[in-house]
């Protein structure tokens, strides 16, 4: 993993065998970034994505291995009052199925490992910190935006 801050953005390269979620979180920790959005692409060897099931108030995991093209990663990172980082991202991947057809899958990204390289841009929030709060109506945590 290698990163460089240029202007108000951080450019992150994640290398073969490295895990993307951990790399983004570590970069933000190193640079004392409490809130940020990010996006990126890459070639991956394994991915775990999840689908939220509202009736269960839980996620169903989906695991895929092989040559996966991360066609899009969009997400954000916030920090709780305790200092704990909260990573939230959605990703889409393409791969060749058994018949040689391009197939897509995606969802809430839990983990993905780089096969060749990954390129990500982190944009720190300017002028404040975004936290989260419990939304009892929906049964999930949502952004708590500064006043």
Instruction: Please report the pLDDT score of residue 91 as a whole number.
Output: 98
Which of the four CATH numbers 3.40.50.1980, 3.30.1330.80, 3.40.718.10, 2.60.40.650 does domain 2-144 have?
A: 3.30.1330.80
Average pLDDT over residues 6-18: 98
Residue 32 has pLDDT above 80, yes or no: yes
* Most distant CA pair in the chain, distance: 54
Residue 138 has pLDDT above 80, yes or no: no
Q: How confident is the model over 59-110, as pLDDT tens digits?
A: 999 999 999 999 999 999 998 888 899 999 999 999 999 999 999 999 999 9
Instruction: Please report the pLDDT score of residue 33 as a whole number.
Output: 96
User: What is the spatial distance between Cα 106 and Cα 100, in angstroms, rounded to a whole number?
Assistant: 19
User: What is the spatial distance between Cα 68 and Cα 125, in angstroms, rounded to a whole number?
Assistant: 30
Instruction: Please report the pLDDT score of residue 142 as a whole number.
Output: 87
Instruction: Please report the pLDDT score of residue 128 as a whole number.
Output: 87
Residue 139 has pLDDT above 90, yes or no: no
Q: Residue 66: CB partners within 8 Å, gap ≥ 6?
A: 45, 95
Handedness of CA 12, 93, 95, 49 (dihedral sign): positive
Q: Residue 42: CB partners within 8 Å, gap ≥ 6?
A: 14, 20, 70, 73, 112, 114, 116, 117, 118, 119, 120
Q: Answer whether 0.75 is exceeded by the pTM.
A: yes
Tokens of 39: 């996006």
Whether 120 contacts 91, CB under 8 Å: no
pLDDT band at 25 (very low <50, low <70, confident <90, very high): very high
Whether 120 contacts 14, CB under 8 Å: yes
In 63-128, which residue ranges form alpha helices assigned H by DSSP?
none
Q: Output the average pLDDT for the chain.
A: 94
């Amino acid at each position: 993993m290698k990163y460089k801050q240029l202007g108000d953005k951080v450019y992150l390269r994640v290398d073969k065998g490295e895990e993307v979620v951990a790399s983004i979180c570590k970069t933000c920790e190193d640079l004392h970034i409490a809130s940020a959005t990010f996006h990126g692409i890459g070639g991956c060897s394994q991915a775990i994505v999840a689908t939220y099931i509202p009736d269960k108030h839980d996620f169903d995991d989906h695991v895929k291995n092989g040559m996966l093209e991360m066609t899009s990663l969009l997400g954000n990172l916030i920090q709780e009052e305790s200092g704990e980082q909260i990573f939230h991202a959605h990703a889409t991947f393409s791969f060749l199925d058994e018949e040689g057809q391009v197939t897509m899958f995606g969802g809430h990204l839990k983990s993905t490992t780089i096969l060749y390289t990954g390129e990500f841009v982190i944009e720190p929030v300017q002028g404040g910190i975004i936290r989260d709060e419990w939304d009892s109506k929906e049964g999930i945590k949502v952004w708590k935006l500064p006043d």
